[in-house]
Amino acid sequence: MRKHDLALAVLLPVLACGCGSSGSGNGNDSGSSGGSGDGTSSKPGGSSGSTPGSSGNPSTNDPGTPTNPTGLTGVWKVDGTDARGAYSGEVELVSKDGKLSITRIVKYATAKVEDGRELHWVWQGTASGSSSKLDVKVPLKRADFMTKRGTVTHTAADVPVDVTGSFSSSTAGTISGTFTGPDINANETWTARRDSGAKPIFADERVTNPAHDPPSASVKTTLFGTYSNFRTLAAVQPYVNRPEFDAAVHGHVVDTTDFAFYQANPKALRVLNKVIDDVSLGETLVRANAYRDSLKAKADKFQADMETRWIDSFVGMVVDGAAPGSTVHEPSGDSALWTGTYAAAQAYRFQVTGEAVAKTNLITSLEALLKLQEITGDWSSFARVLRRSNGPATGDWHTGTGKFAGLDWREGGNNDMLKGILYGLTLGYEVLCGDGASGYDSICKRIRTNAKHIADDVNTSQGFNQLPGTWLSAWVDDSITYRAKAEGFWVAAKVEKKNNPVFYEQGTADWSGTHLSFVGDTIAMLLASHLNLGGDAVKVHKDEIDASHDNLAKQRLAVWHLIHAAYGSGAKSSPFVDDMRWRLREIPYPKTSYPIDHRINPDFCMSPYPALPWKTDWMNYPNPDRTQSLVSYPIFEQETDVSYWKVGLNYDGGGPYESPGVDFLHAYWYARKFGILSATE
């Protein structure tokens, strides 16, 4: 989607005040942590400038040039026991600026958690004293982002708790002592000290990267004035006096911590600076499930689930999410779009691997997309989803007849759903009916017929989609008549393309619309590769993709990094592509979430602006709720969604819930198709 009128009314004068497009800047505290950084961020999605810190724990990322008070500093071997049994590991003591910090990493010998995974625990804190009497203090977090799992709940009242340790030298080269705290009583011994290495034994790699430059005084005055009543909402009031709220610099939290650990230890869970309970284990589990598999292994797992759980072969459409592990699903109201992207994923997969099953999957979902038009009996409309008939159809559901017996269809096909149909038909024709393809005459004929009806009859395409529908028909029918129509539509459409790249400014975007625009631009580039309207359709769309990516570059939208590398001017080795990799890595398998609410974390801050402000309904809170976070979070800390590529600055959500991996598969095979990812990643 392009800029909305109201958003323009607010933001055009802002732009005139010198806001400009988002670019690299000095950075500001986006409010995600109690720490602070100085220097250039090298994390995914980063930009030059100060990087807000993300952890209140003492950092061991830079051991500096430590002193060695009475032989304490360095790395010690740890052996001990607590209520969970025996454990072993390492403790590192680092002295910097006259202060001692401690990092402790242990693995339990026999304790297993969740689905039989090894339990590891990381603590970071401070120490004081000497080997004759060493005191240790470790703050362990309780409230982070999950609010409930099983019978355990976390709220904002669950402040961190302190674990204290008392140690002394028992014999030469040996230190012994105890740790005590809530539900913690551990006895352990440290031996075999060695000097610290070039890197610490553990590094907290959580950072927050600014999403845009700080607003100028005039921009801030304009926006704060426009949304002054938004700040009066009870949900926003607790944050209005926070300095980061006043600074109004949105950001993105990037957390690559323990990626390498889980790649090396896929059957482990390592709890980081938290009390261990069902909730913290759940928070740890989603990180582990995101980081333990290679991208290829994750794609294989998501694919297996699509074929056995998320698509009924009789229907051929992607269903809605459900309770974790459930095989009973409801149809998704937006299934035409998600089925179109799944069909595209299978087309790309077939083009890359030649696997017959990928072509079979493509045909199954392509058949469903064709039926969306055919089943209604009225070529001017189309269905948005199909389901198995399960009794009398009511409401906006209708029963299929004749060759569609056994299926129900839901009315209400719209612009978003039509994009899914166009995407599936375009790639379906390319794979099944293009040069060198044979044996699919019947389905190819149906694609040509349905494309013509999109161009001529579908009400939804008599506007924004008029060009792609006619363009598709011109290509698949090799029709002079439809080509002439498409060329005519292109004359006007190219002006729109040149002047309206996808929009982002000061935390405001149509997040769902950015995904639709990505799909629309991909369809256009696919069609232009076969029929370059006006001789410049490829170039105009390439320029628009570049301009849109310039606006979105810092927003961690993986699909825009993809299309920029595939069709724009983005190099396949650019930092943006690496950010796309990290976004795929952040998706856990399975895509399961539990109730979350980042507001329970004291680091959380609300945005001073409402989401989707052009809807002008932010004062109707909580229905709808237009509040949004000042920062986005790693995908494994978000509510699960059928497509993470349309999610903005969300901070809460329900569960337990599991969603299909269509978004991962589409992005993965898109990247493989264009050589952006390799088969070994």
pLDDT band at 522 (very low <50, low <70, confident <90, very high): very high
What does the pLDDT read at residue 658? 96
Mean per-residue pLDDT, 249-272 = 99
Nearest-angstrom CA–CA distance, 478 and 448: 10
> Which range has the worst mean pLDDT, 50-54, 196-200, 231-235, 641-645?
50-54
- From residue 173, alpha-carbon distances to 74, 126, 146, 645 in Å are 12, 21, 42, 54
pLDDT above 90 for 396: yes
Q: Percent of the chain at pLDDT above 70?
A: 89
Nearest of 105, 123, 3 to residue 57 by alpha carbon: 123
Alpha-carbon distance of 598 to 34, in angstroms, equals 15
Q: Would you list the domain boundaries of the chain?
A: 65-220+257-292, 293-593+639-674
Evaluate if residue 173 carries a pLDDT over 80: yes
CA-based angle 62:284:83, to the nearest 5? Answer: 95
| The residue to which tokens 């426009």 are assigned | 226
Choose among 345, 282, 310, 314: nearest CA to 145.
Answer: 282
66-80, 441-455, 547-561, 603-617: which has the minimum mean pLDDT? Answer: 66-80
At 48 the pLDDT is: 37
**pLDDT tens-digit readout, 591-646:** 999 999 999 999 999 999 999 999 999 999 999 999 999 999 999 999 999 999 99
User: Residue 12: is its pLDDT beyond 50?
Assistant: no
Helix boundaries (H) for 201-319: 217-226, 243-247, 259-264, 278-291, 295-305
Query: Rounded to the nearest 5°, which phi and psi values hold at 184?
Result: -130, 125
Q: Cα(344)–Cα(43) distance, rounded to whole angstroms?
A: 31
Mean pLDDT of the chain: 91
Residue 170's pLDDT is 80
**Percentage, residues of the chain above pLDDT 90:** 84
Using pLDDT thresholds of 50, 70 and 90, give the confidence band for residue 463.
low
> Quick one: pLDDT at residue 254?
98
CA torsion through residues 556, 560, 564, 566, sign:
positive
Q: DSSP 3-state assignment of 381? A: coil
65-220+257-292 with 293-593+639-674: one CATH topology? no
pLDDT of residue 461: 58
Above 80 in pLDDT, residue 14?
Answer: no
Six token digits for residue 125: 């804190």
The CA distances from residue 552 to 85, 506, 573, 631, 670, in Å, are 50, 11, 18, 15, 19
The answer to whether residue 483 scores a pLDDT higher than 50 is yes
Across the chain, which distance is largest between two alpha carbons, in Å?
93
Question: How does residue 160 score in pLDDT terms, banded at 50, 70 and 90?
Answer: very high
Q: How confident is the model at residue 436 (pLDDT cuts 50, 70, 90)?
A: confident
Work out the average pLDDT over 347-355.
Answer: 98
- Tell me the CATH number for domain 65-220+257-292: 2.40.128.120
Average pLDDT over residues 101-126: 98
600 CB burial (10 A radius; 0-12, 13-18, 19+): buried
**Per-residue pLDDT at 50:** 35
* Per-residue model confidence (pLDDT) at position 43: 53
- Please report which confidence band the pLDDT of residue 171 belongs to, taking 50, 70 and 90 as the band edges: confident
C-alpha to C-alpha distances, 427 to 249, 472, 529, nearest whole angstrom: 40, 11, 12
Looking at 8-17, 128-137, 322-331, 418-427, which range is the least confident one? 8-17
Note the CATH number of domain 293-593+639-674.
1.50.10
